[in-house]
A and B are shown apart, each in its own frame.
Chain A
Amino acid sequence: VSQTHDEIRALRVMVDELRAEPAPELAWDAIEQRLLSRISSHVGARPGAESLHLEGAPRLLPVPLQFAPPPRASSPLMRVFGFAAAAAVLALGVGSITHDSEVPQAAAPARHVIESTAVAFAPGSAPRSNARDLSTLRPGDVVEAGDAPVTFGQAGLAQWTLAPGSALRVRSVGVGHTVALERGSLRAEVTPRDASEGLVEAFAVEVGGTRVAVHGTAFSVTIEGNRAVVDVEHGAVAVGPVGYAGATTGHLLVGPSRASFSLDGGRSARFVERVAQPSLVAVLPEGARERPAVDVDEVREAPAVVARAEGAVAAAPKPALSAHASANPAVDAPTVAVGGGTAPPAAIPEPEVREAPVVAAVLPVLSIAGIQGRIARCFKHDPAADPTAVRVSVSSTLTITLEADGSVRKMGLSPALKADVTNCIGGAVSGHYSGDRREIQVPITFQP
């Protein structure tokens, strides 16, 4: 393709005109006020915030096993989490800390082993009660899963489950919690951040030079050779090079989807078929999967190892697989070297990987009630507000048209609403739905 001299000159003229466009003057004082206010609230809210960028010597104090504090009432998922945690505390009374004096001190100057049970959760289900408190972790900690998955969670932030035989190192804690997956597989559910907080990368997993960052979603990351396979159940994750904490760029993977990335920042990426929803439950023994939380005698011991030490970390002692687990014919038990040898990670069972369009696994149904539930967060209702304050009622109709593959082809609001509300609704409704090409109209009525 060749350009004429006049086309080049026209391009030059346009560049000059664009350069000459003055940037609009913004309300700088208001921006600064809001910015400082957000910084104050974030710093005050996140545990260990001050240590985020000042990683000193790892703490060597025994870490009490805690359950997540009761969640805020605004989150149904977290409410379930809170009730389950409270029930577990009352019924089980489990949660012991063992100071492991058996660990070779030469390899690891100090080491603290927390022994408890860990049971994975199924995708979409409420977090299980025996998730350990994420806030007890500190930058530099190493977490290794034994023969069963290990779960850490924090109300309002994230919950992640490390597959058997897997290991990760904690990079940072609090909002912006980042872990480096060193081997195996990890699945996480991340609580979506409030829209007012902006584009907060609430949680990130780093594998080699590749960073998988999320704002609120459920996803898993698995190391497969020299690639990281990312499976997004819902929401979206950004995958790109490490080193841009808080602003990860590269690829945006919108769930439900699955893709494989190279470990050099994801320079090479390809979609892979998402045949079946991977679940850590699938690698659990049947008994552990179905066992009620109160059945303490039946709970299989599955120690996780949390190591706090500078330098090398000794291999974690791994318990023998229980007979119950190995005898289970329905589940392929992970290969674990009994006795503390080098255990290959029991990766989440993967579907056959081949280049193919993304196939949705479980999709929500497009219904009026479902959509109304999704967009409810776009409207603010503050019953404690000043009764003399101005209240705004909203009445509109949202029309959603689906493509044959269940994706949203277009949406329309009649009458139109404010841009920020429109954007919020767009974000809440986006995704894939079960069914085929069709259109529904959703009445929106909001009375403060």
Chain B
Amino acid sequence: VGVTEAPDVDEVVARAQRGDRAAFSELFRRHRGDVGRLVFRMLGPTPDAEDVVQEVFLQVHRSLGEFRGQAKFTTWLHRVTVNVVLMVRRAARSRPVFAGEPVADQEPDRGLLPDEDAARYARIAAFRRLLDRLPEKKRTVFVLHEIEGLAPIEIAEIVDAPVLTVRTRLFYARRELAVMMRDEPTLAQLAEELAGGREGGRANGGRSAEGPMSAILGDDGAQASAETEAT
């Protein structure tokens, strides 16, 4: 899932840099969906999503003068988005957590659901909790690559790190997630079901297990394991 870049985006950016409000609005309308999706994928369901998206575009407006076109605009926009999201997460962590804060505010009310959908949402919620436990750098590259579908070379530009470092983080993120899933009953059960073949059809219906994820100890891992990285 990449970000569509219209041919004339450079011209729109240039006009916005010159202070053209209409051009900035055009940038907002053109890219708001991409930003909203990335915010959602990095933060999960949150009532703050609109504020975060707004903050991203405010930062874009402030920093647009510094965009020199060395990277694609969408890559730069991803970088701003990632940085704002990380800042939001850090700000949230620096505040003491309220005891007994209602979780209901964080999860949308999905109403009554068929059993299978309910189980899927429970799995997704559990997986998001595991993602939250990953160190920030690993979590970021995991989301950008596995969920958002960006290539490591582009992620390297976004997080300002060498490609090899990105692959390293990816490798360890996958490995740590796989380990954490063992202790999460909902997800451990999924692995058991897959082992029993009860869920085989669904697993094969998704992306091939020979994709990047199968490289947990494969290509990415072979390269990454040569490099140690502090977290």
> Residues on A close to B: CB < 8 A?
1-19, 21, 23-24, 26-28, 30-32, 34-36, 38-39, 50, 52-54, 176, 198-199, 236, 238, 241, 243-249, 252, 254, 265, 408-413, 416, 419, 422-423, 426-427, 429-430
Pull 15 A–B residue pairs with CB atoms less than 8 Å apart, ordered by A.
A5-B209, A13-B194, A14-B181, A15-B146, A16-B206, A18-B147, A23-B33, A24-B49, A26-B50, A32-B25, A32-B28, A35-B28, A247-B83, A416-B101, A430-B96
Q: Is the interface of B mostly helix, strand, loop or mixed?
A: helix
Whether the pair A9, B94 counts as a contact (CB closer than 8 A) is no
Query: Which chain A residues lie closer than 8 Å to B199 at the CB level?
Result: 13
* B64 at interface by CB-CB < 8 Å: yes
Q: A10-B181, A53-B17 are in contact. Are A35 and B57 (CB under 8 A)?
A: yes
Query: Which chain A residues lie closer than 8 Å to B21 at the CB level?
Result: 36
Whether the pair B50, A31 counts as a contact (CB closer than 8 A) is yes
In angstroms, Cα B100 to Cα A416, docked, is 9
Whether the pair B95, A430 counts as a contact (CB closer than 8 A) is yes
Q: Mark B72-99, 1 if CB is under 8 A from A, else 0.
A: 0000000110011011101111111111
Partner of A244, one of B83, B123, B194: B83
Query: Which chain B residues lie closer than 8 Å to A409 at the CB level?
Result: 96
Query: Which chain A residues lie closer than 8 Å to B181 at the CB level?
Result: 7, 10-11, 14
Q: A8-B178, A16-B206, A21-B124 are in contact. Are A249 and B49 (CB under 8 A)?
A: no
Q: 7 smallest A-B Cβ distances: which pairs?
A: A53-B65, A247-B83, A16-B206, A10-B191, A23-B40, A426-B95, A23-B37
Partner of A23, one of B36, B47, B55, B86: B36
**What is the CB-to-nearest-CB distance from A179 to chain B, in angstroms, rounded to a whole number?**
16
Of residues A26, A408, A419, which shows the largest number of chain B Cβ atoms within 10 Å of its Cβ?
A: A26
Of residues B80, B90, B105, which shows the largest number of chain A Cβ atoms within 10 Å of its Cβ?
A: B90
Nearest chain A residue, comparing its CB with the CB of B175: A1
Q: Mark B141-165, 1 if CB is under 8 A from A, else 0.
A: 0000011010000000000100000
* B195 at interface by CB-CB < 8 Å: yes
Q: A8-B178, A21-B124, A23-B37 are in contact. Are A238 and B90 (CB under 8 A)?
A: yes
In angstroms, Cα B14 to Cα A53, docked, is 13
Nearest chain A residue, comparing its CB with the CB of B196: A6
Whether the pair B160, A53 counts as a contact (CB closer than 8 A) is no
In angstroms, Cα B217 to Cα A199, docked, is 40
Of residues B21, B24, B101, which shows the largest number of chain A Cβ atoms within 10 Å of its Cβ?
A: B101
Extra inter-chain contacts (11) besides given A15-B147, A52-B62, A238-B90, CB under 8 Å: A4-B191, A6-B195, A9-B194, A11-B174, A11-B178, A13-B202, A31-B50, A35-B54, A50-B19, A249-B86, A422-B101
* B187 at interface by CB-CB < 8 Å: yes
Of residues A3, A10, A15, which shows the largest number of chain B Cβ atoms within 10 Å of its Cβ?
A: A10
Partner of A8, one of B24, B65, B214: B214
Whether the pair A28, B32 counts as a contact (CB closer than 8 A) is yes
Whether the pair B207, A12 counts as a contact (CB closer than 8 A) is yes
Query: Which chain B residues lie closer than 8 Å to A411 at the CB level?
Result: 96, 98-99
In angstroms, Cα B221 to Cα A1, docked, is 12
In angstroms, Cα B178 to Cα A344, docked, is 55
In angstroms, Cα B17 to Cα A50, docked, is 11
Nearest chain B residue, comparing its CB with the CB of A176: B62
Nearest chain B residue, comparing its CB with the CB of A40: B21
In angstroms, Cα B4 to Cα A105, docked, is 53
Q: A11-B174, A249-B87 are in contact. Are A24 and B108 (CB under 8 A)?
A: yes
* B66 at interface by CB-CB < 8 Å: yes
Whether the pair A246, B99 counts as a contact (CB closer than 8 A) is no
**What is the CB-to-nearest-CB distance from A393 to chain B, in angstroms, rounded to a whole number?**
21
Whether the pair B216, A3 counts as a contact (CB closer than 8 A) is yes
Whether the pair A19, B147 counts as a contact (CB closer than 8 A) is yes
Whether the pair B59, A247 counts as a contact (CB closer than 8 A) is yes
Nearest chain A residue, comparing its CB with the CB of B195: A6
**What is the CB-to-nearest-CB distance from B226 to chain A, in angstroms, rounded to a whole number?**
17
Whether the pair B84, A426 counts as a contact (CB closer than 8 A) is no
Whether the pair B32, A31 counts as a contact (CB closer than 8 A) is yes
Whether the pair A3, B87 counts as a contact (CB closer than 8 A) is no
Whether the pair A11, B177 counts as a contact (CB closer than 8 A) is yes
**What is the CB-to-nearest-CB distance from A360 to chain B, in angstroms, rounded to a whole number?**
16
In angstroms, Cα B94 to Cα A254, docked, is 8
Nearest chain B residue, comparing its CB with the CB of A11: B178
Partner of A24, one of B40, B58, B98: B40
Q: A24-B40, A31-B32 are in contact. Are A12 and B211 (CB under 8 A)?
A: yes
Q: A6-B195, A7-B181, A15-B213 are in contact. Are A23 and B41 (CB under 8 A)?
A: yes
**What is the CB-to-nearest-CB distance from A33 to chain B, in angstroms, rounded to a whole number?**
10
**What is the CB-to-nearest-CB distance from B9 to chain A, in angstroms, rounded to a whole number?**
18
Whether the pair A410, B102 counts as a contact (CB closer than 8 A) is no
**What is the CB-to-nearest-CB distance from B172 to chain A, in angstroms, rounded to a whole number?**
10
In angstroms, Cα B217 to Cα A34, docked, is 47
Q: A3-B216, A28-B32, A247-B83 are in contact. Are A10 and B99 (CB under 8 A)?
A: no
In angstroms, Cα B143 to Cα A68, docked, is 47
Q: A18-B127, A199-B55 are in contact. Are A9 and B95 (CB under 8 A)?
A: no
Partner of A199, one of B84, B108, B207: B84
**What is the CB-to-nearest-CB distance from B216 to chain A, in angstroms, rounded to a whole number?**
6
Q: Mark B173-200, 1 if CB is under 8 A from A, else 0.
A: 0110111011000010011101100010
Q: A13-B202, A15-B146, A17-B123 are in contact. Are A246 and B54 (CB under 8 A)?
A: no
Q: A35-B28, A53-B17 are in contact. Are A412 and B40 (CB under 8 A)?
A: no
In angstroms, Cα B160 to Cα A243, docked, is 10
Query: Which chain A residues lie closer than 8 Å to B45 at the CB level?
Result: 24
* B223 at interface by CB-CB < 8 Å: no
